[in-house]
Structure 1
Amino acid sequence: MRFYKKLYLVVLYKQKYSDSQTLRSFSEFYFGKNKNNFFVVWDNSPSSKTSVADIGRFLNTKNVDYIHTPENTALSKIYNTCLDRYSDFDFFLIFDQDSKIMRPDYDSYLEKTILENSEINIFLPQIYSQGKLYSPGKFWIFKGWHYKNLSVGIHKDKFYTAIMSGTCVRIDFLKKHNIRFNENLSLYGIDTCFFSDVRKIDKHFYVLEERLEHDLSENHLIGEELKKQTLLYLNSTFVINRKTVVKTIIVRFYKIYLKLKRKI
């Protein structure tokens, strides 16, 4: 029986590792006991007193690295750096700091699912916020929308996208097709752009029998903060669609529409 080497990345920002819901889940469910797992904790906080030994003790493993970048490195650069630095792994799993894993056997369940679906390159948990399924979802040019029902198993969709946290991707697939994270994007649109590139090669994905509870910050925005977030997100769609003239024109018209509606 083959065991895959999995690289778990968790990005922290202004939060201590022991307060991270994601890292607490890893610790409570003994992810560190799996010798095929390696953990990278990338800390973007302005200051930190954390050491790699602290993380290792917390996760009960020696397979760990801790990187602190007080300059707040762009997420796209973090993801690409990890792909380059740890390129001998089989799967890359990306998490933010506040994703709550629900099933205690998630790591072993994921390994079993990967083994049984060797033709699949993307494995996605179901991400809920305030009782609503947000990921996987759909996206076209500038517009995103939700699936009403999404069963566990293999799906094919030319419009699918997902929130990056919890994504499990086959590294050989990324290397074979030279798929990278777009470093013209630092925060908004990274996941959308990534899945747009993936879909050009492979429209299949696997929905896992796992529900992650996730706090989506945009759900709480109002007024000028919501307008600012909308504009940042819209600007990211220009980057995503810039190679297609027609799509770029559509985004420009949509931007004019939002301005007329005073939404940006």
Structure 2
Amino acid sequence: MTQNIVKSKLSILIVLYKRHYKDSSAITTLLHSASYFCEKGIEVDFFVWNNTPQCSPRLVRDGLTWLEGNNEGLSHIYNRVAAQAFAAGATHFMISDDDTDYSAENYVGEIASAIEFEAKSSPDAFGIMLPKIYSEGKLVSPGARFWFFGRLLLAVESGMNTSLNKLGINSGLIFTKACYERMTPLFDERLKFYATDTEFFVRYETYYSHFYVLDTVLQHDLSEHTSDSPGRAIFRFQEMIRGFRVMFERKSFLFHCVVEAYLVVSSVKKSVSYRDIGFIRSYMSSFKEKK
């Protein structure tokens, strides 16, 4: 007989982008895990936000809410669905990209253990749970931060980890209801696609001293970020500029000077690398808007 843990409801959001739902490893593996959640005493429901409606038909399934938008900003999507999920009785809310693989054998059990640990802990102990995520054999989340530079860690301990100067990626991130109530809106909607996770973690450490790392390993492909066309790379650079200025808007004048110097150097390096002066133009345009 399966012993139920503390009664909980986990709402899972998967953002589908430029692919059919059948080709989404996140949708496939998470839906397959639905019965395992029930066995652990966790009620689970799903939200799929199709951000490119022309690429996939609607998926109809009990316990799944299908939503659509036309390339809406991720921060807006996360905030909107989080509000909907918690209003409908969720105790936990998870967000995911469409290409994360959740087939790890112990994944559901680790979430159940984390929820059980949360129930025995202080309400201020932690507000998020996140898995260990690997890409091409390297640990990419959680990671560390020095000023505004992110760096990879060789390894991370499972369980409670300090949140100070730490980062993580959005996919697989689980929020407690208490975290949502304290930090709502969870994401800054001035940021649309990039730096949303970094901004969240920078702000999170001012609310919670720790987060909980699940003792499970998931795979997530980040290779697409290394093969951008010049136009796509310029867009990402523009988003990075906006992200830095939003994330660190309350930092000191010296900090801002270092950030701006870094952006200038980056714009020159990227313009040389891609043989496209668009990076320098993007920085100069953003600096004029900032003024």
Shorter-chain TM-score above 0.5: yes
* CA spacing shift, 1:31–1:231, aligned 2, 3 Å: farther
CA deviation map 1:204-256 (0-9, x unaligned): 01111211111112133476654553443233111111122433222111112
Larger helix proportion of the pair: 2
SS at structure 2 position matched to 1:150: coil
Q: Structure 2 unaligned segments of length 5 or more: list them.
A: 272-278, 280-291
Question: For structure 1, which segment, 183-192 or 1-10, has the greater mean C-alpha deviation from structure 2 after superposition?
Answer: 1-10
* CA spacing shift, 1:182–1:27, aligned 2, 3 Å: same
Number of aligned pairs?
A: 256
* CA spacing shift, 1:49–1:196, aligned 2, 3 Å: closer
Q: Distance in 2 between matches of 1:115 and 1:141?
A: 34
SS at structure 1 position matched to 2:257: helix
SS at structure 1 position matched to 2:8: coil
What is the CA distance between 1:50 and its match in structure 2?
A: 2.8
Alignment check: 8 A CA contact 2:26 2:98 kept: yes
Match of 2:208 in 1: 202
Match of 2:111 in 1: 110
**Structure 2 residue 46 is the aligned partner of structure 1 residue 39:** yes
Match of 1:248 in 2: 256
Match of 1:168 in 2: 174
Match of 2:68 in 1: 68
Match of 1:24 in 2: 28
Alignment check: 8 A CA contact 2:106 2:216 kept: no
What is the CA distance between 1:32 and its match in structure 2?
A: 7.6
CA deviation map 1:34-60 (0-9, x unaligned): 26101001101142663352xx1xxxx
Report matched runs for 1:1-264 at 5 Å.
1-31=5-35, 34=38, 36-47=43-54, 50-53=57-60, 56=61, 62-69=62-69, 71-87=70-86, 88-118=89-119, 119=121, 120-216=126-222, 217-221=224-228, 225-226=232-233, 228-246=235-253, 247-262=255-270, 264=279
Q: Distance in 1 between matches of 2:37 and 2:93?
A: 18
Q: Distance in 2 between matches of 1:25 and 1:259?
A: 40
Q: Structure 1 unaligned segments of length 5 or more: list them.
A: 57-61
Q: Distance in 2 between matches of 1:219 and 1:31?
A: 37
Q: TM-score, normalised by structure 2?
A: 0.80
What is the CA distance between 1:63 and its match in structure 2?
A: 1.6
Q: Which has the larger radius of gyration?
A: 2
